[in-house]
């Protein structure tokens, strides 16, 4: 029976190692998620800046179209002014020229403001592109580093699992089932008695049971916390 304790202890050592490797692998996930988030944020900022400038450029094209129309109108106005002979018609034509000139000045003023705004926005786009490129460059080094850490841990994990499965055959099937069930609920399933008490929860184990455990190497379940207990003969 002492053999079973030893086999189970060896198995448990592997299981604790496997847990440790698995938790190290899990720690890498948020690192990758952080990289994704940072890159997405930089890309979203660039997309927003590009959409904003597109809207302003559309306004600019409309305004340029309006100015072109006003220029054509003014050409006609000026022809008309040359053609008119009578005073009253000349006054009206002059007023028309003046009003169109004001419209054109308004168009040009708006276009100048819009042009400055678009230039500012293009500067923002350039800055966003640079920021995105910087994030991508930074990640070009970080990502493979994380990936190689992960694959190293993964092969370590595969080895540990193979070792573990090799050792599991040395434990009787009912004991292995019990051990696996208990292990599913907590980190460690098997504890040594410590001063006559459960090594996990410190509840005293009756002397008679302790004697049986020490004598035959029998594994018992702690009545208080449910872990497996063995008498450490050493
Ligand atoms: Zn206990």
Q: What is the pLDDT of residues 19-34, one digit of tens each?
A: 999 999 999 989 989 9
| Cα 217 to middle of ligand 1, angstroms | 18
| Cα 105 to middle of ligand 1, angstroms | 91
| Cα 75 to middle of ligand 1, angstroms | 101
Specify whether the CB–CB gap between 34 and 210 falls below 8 A: no
| Cα 228 to middle of ligand 1, angstroms | 8
> Binning pLDDT at 50, 70 and 90, where does residue 17 land?
very high
The rounded percent of the chain whose pLDDT value lies above 90 is 86
Q: State the Cα–Cα distance between residues 225 and 203, nearest whole angstrom.
A: 8
Residue 115 vs residues 57, 59, 135: alpha-carbon distances, Å: 9, 10, 30
Q: State the Cα–Cα distance between residues 182 and 11, nearest whole angstrom.
A: 14
Instruction: Quick: pLDDT tens for 157-211.
Output: 999 999 999 999 999 999 999 999 999 888 899 999 999 999 999 999 999 999 9
Mean per-residue pLDDT for 119-133? 96
| Cα 227 to middle of ligand 1, angstroms | 6
| Cα 45 to middle of ligand 1, angstroms | 56
Residue 184 vs residues 15, 42, 54, 203, 226: alpha-carbon distances, Å: 11, 42, 58, 22, 12
Instruction: Quick: pLDDT tens for 84-115.
Output: 888 888 899 999 999 999 999 999 999 999 99
Mean pLDDT of the chain: 94
pLDDT at 1: 58
pTM, entire model: 0.66
Q: Is the dihedral of CA 121, 126, 131, 136 positive or negative?
A: positive
Mean per-residue pLDDT for 53-69? 97
111-135 burial: b if 16+ Cβ within 10 Å, else e = beebeeebeebeebbeebeeebeeb
């Amino acid at each position: 029976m002492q053999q079973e304790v030893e086999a189970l202890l060896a198995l448990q050592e592997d299981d604790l190692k496997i847990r440790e490797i698995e938790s190290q692998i899990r720690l890498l996930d948020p690192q990758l998620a952080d990289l994704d988030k940072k890159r997405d944020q930089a890309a979203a900022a660039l997309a927003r800046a590009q959409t904003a400038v597109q809207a302003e450029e559309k306004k600019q094209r409309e305004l340029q179209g309006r100015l072109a129309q006003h220029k054509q109108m003014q050409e006609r106005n000026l022809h008309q002014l040359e053609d008119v002979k009578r005073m009253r018609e000349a006054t009206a034509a002059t007023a028309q020229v003046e009003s169109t000139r004001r419209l054109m000045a308004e168009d040009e003023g708006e276009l100048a403001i819009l042009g400055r705004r678009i230039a500012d926005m293009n500067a923002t786009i350039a800055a966003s592109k640079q920021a995105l490129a910087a994030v991508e460059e930074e990640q070009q080094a970080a990502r493979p580093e994380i990936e190689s850490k992960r694959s190293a841990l993964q092969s370590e994990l595969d080895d540990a699992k193979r070792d573990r499965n090799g050792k599991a055959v040395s434990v009787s099937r009912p004991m292995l089932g019990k051990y696996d069930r208990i292990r599913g609920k907590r980190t460690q399933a098997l504890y040594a008695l410590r001063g006559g008490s459960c090594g996990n929860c410190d509840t005293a184990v009756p002397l008679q049971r302790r004697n049986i455990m020490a004598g035959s190497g029998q594994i018992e379940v702690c009545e208080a916390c449910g872990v497996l207990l063995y008498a450490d003969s050493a």
